[in-house]
Amino acid sequence: MRVRLPLAAGLLLGACLCAAGPARADYVLLRNGSRLNVTGYEILGDKFRLHLQGGIADVPVEEIASIEPEEIFEPSTEPLSEKTPYQKLILAAAARYHLDPDLIHSVIAIESNFNPKAISPKNARGLMQLMPHTAERMGVKDSFDPEQNIEGGARYLRDLLAKYKNNLTLALAAYNAGPESVDKYGRRVPPYLETMKYVQRITKTYAKLKAEATGPGSGQPLPNAGS
């Protein structure tokens, strides 16, 4: 499938112009502000051939602004325990919003690897990577404060699970891509590689934690994972 992109998208190439074949790239930022998650790219003369989920797109070099690596954290798969960073905050937020602590644990592990000062290229912040507008809506004044961030992230996750009738797959997709995107595609996971990978990684981590948990957070059933 050939994907036709709107004209206007650009790049600061730097050393990557020297690439001579398929290479790995996680994000391509276009001059029109679009941000594409790609599995790789090739340089073909004055064009970049971007490898997208389900197809390719040929984009003129001058339309590309930058190529950025995707931040991927290797999650902790240790069950929630006293050794888990911010365990007490996770348990408190889970109890307040009737969530499984292991779910909050999984989201934090994938989103920031427990780094309270993490900032994504999209400006998501803190342990649960809250976008500024989401943080404001959830009453979070300081996204870098672990207690506020976990509180806001747990509340947002609770709201999404309620919106999608406890469907974990859709709630996680909405947490990553926004509920507008999930609703736009008929309440299905949006066809964005980043979002599909995100949902897969968290559900896999969550299932592993639930299977191995022997301490706090092991007693609640998993939300419905159907789509």
Q: Has residue 152 got a pLDDT over 70?
A: yes
Which three-class secondary structure state does DSSP give residue 197?
A: helix
Q: Is residue 41 pLDDT above 60, yes or no?
A: yes
Confidence of residue 18 (pLDDT cuts 50, 70, 90): very low
| pLDDT surpassing 50 at residue 4 | no
Determine the pLDDT at residue 3. Answer: 38
Q: Which helix (H) or strand (E) holds 135?
A: helix 132-137
Are the C-beta atoms of 176 and 199 separated by less than 8 Å? yes
Average confidence score pLDDT of the chain = 81
Mean pLDDT of 28-56: 79
Q: Which residues pair with 167 in a beta bridge?
A: 224
111 has catalytic annotation: yes
Catalytic residue among 42, 62, 111, 147: 111
pLDDT of residue 223: 67
Q: What is the mean pLDDT of residues 27-46?
A: 78
Q: How confident is the model at residue 49 (pLDDT cuts 50, 70, 90)?
A: confident
Beta-carbon neighbour count of residue 183 at 10 Å?
Answer: 15
Task: Render pLDDT for 121-137 as a digit per residue (tens, 0 to 9).
Answer: 788 999 999 999 999 99
Nearest to 226 by CA among 201, 199, 194: 199
User: Is the model more confident about 98 or about 42?
Assistant: 98
Q: What is the pLDDT of residues 168-221, one digit of tens each?
A: 999 999 999 999 999 999 999 998 878 998 999 999 999 998 888 654 444 455
User: If pLDDT is split at 50, 70 and 90, which confidence band does 109 have?
Assistant: very high
DSSP string, 15-84: GGGG--S-B--SEEEETTS-EEE-SEEEEETTEEEEEETTEEEEEEGGGEEEEE---------SPS-TTS
How much is the average pLDDT of 88-101?
98
Residue 73 is predicted with a pLDDT of: 61
